[in-house]
Amino acid sequence: MTTGFYWSERCFWHAGGNYAFTLPIGGNVQPLAAGALPENPETKRRLKNLLDVTGLIHDLSVHSAPEAPAEDLLRVHPQSYLTEFKEMSDAGGGELGQRTPFAQGGYELAAQSASLAVTALENVLNGTHKNAYALSRPPGHHCRREDPMGFCLMANLAIAIEAAKATRPDLKVAVLDWDVHHGNGTEEIFYDRADILTISIHQDRNYPIDTGAFADRGTGKGEGANLNIPLPPGAGHVAYLDTMERLVLPAIRAYAPDIIVIACGFDAAPVDPLGRMMATVETFRAMTRQVSALAAEICKGRLMMAHEGGSSEVYVPFCGHAVLQEMSGSPINAPDPWGDAYMQHQPDNAFNRFVADQITAMKDALQRS
């Protein structure tokens, strides 16, 4: 079977907001000569371009998707939020939440971004693809039911999961979020649910600053079905793979899901302006290899990823290419142009031992619970 790749040029046209980086323009904040928010279309477009240039795109099954219908959106977001969003979008755009601006037509673009995830997930579950990647934009993992934030206007993965469960009520899903920021929206939506396991590896106290604690394990029926793994700034290749081996993979294996879903952000990379981590192209390749092997072991290889963060226009394409090469088994490679340099910049053994001790403490706490 093939690896599905879902994208739309229309989603790259999502825009809006009078920002200079993450600061509203005005007062002493001068407008940028080019660009606005760090969540910009070029990181995604350049990934698609790199796939075209190397030829890896020909080893993928390439598709798009129409806008998600209201019934899909309403399983996650209330009508009041969708109505307000649509009216503001039709009126020329605006902003509904914290750093979530959009232009005219932003509602339709967000609905299409969600649909890319919905369709990719469905086509893995129905056997069309062995695995799939949705190049969604705008991203979704910060969006709460009626509170968009962090560039996220609709909860793409939550919408996709609920659409899948509408025809498969017993479906068990494990969601792993390796974006550098805590996947607070996905966590909150499923926090009291036992049928969805949510795991987030993120930089400690980055964004949102008040969520993502290890102690937050779920509530009610969902107690124990949420796992946050906050890592200290500067954690790199060794720490990420150690986290996967000792915390993430055992948790997913014990949960025994029907499919593994990844909120795939690339902002834990060394040059990302919104993170302070040291994950490299090879880190993302290795983590993809780890989850692919686990999926083959426990859920017939079913694996789906949706694009989330990553603000380095230069580096994100190489990270994404490595992930898609690994997912597809293609021999076509795009070597990391900074690979040797970034490996030399990795934390030393003393820092790796410091992080390993934190991972051990979390593992011990999980075993006691």
Q: What amino acid positions are annotated as catalytic residues?
A: 142
Local structure of 291: helix, strand or coil: helix
How deeply is 206 buried, as exposed, middle or buried, from its count of CB atoms within 10 A (0-12, 13-18, 19+)? buried
Task: Using alpha carbons, select from 167, 168, 211, 221 the residue that is nearest to residue 190.
Answer: 221
Q: Pairing between strand 19-20 and 23-24? A: antiparallel
Rounded-to-integer distance, Cα 208 and Cα 288, Å: 25
Strand partners, 103: 93
Local structure of 210: helix, strand or coil: coil
Q: Pairing between strand 93-95 and 101-103? A: antiparallel
Identify each DSSP E strand in the chain by its residue range: 2-6, 19-20, 23-24, 61-63, 93-95, 101-103, 129-134, 173-177, 196-203, 226-231, 259-264, 303-307
Q: How many CB atoms lie within 10 A of CB 344?
A: 7
Task: Using alpha carbons, select from 29, 39, 70 the residue that is nearest to residue 265.
Answer: 39
Strand partners, 187: none
Rounded-to-integer distance, Cα 268 and Cα 278, Å: 6
Strand partners, 228: 200
Tokens encoding 276: 């302070």
Task: State phi, psi for 340 to the nearest 5 degrees.
Answer: -65, -45
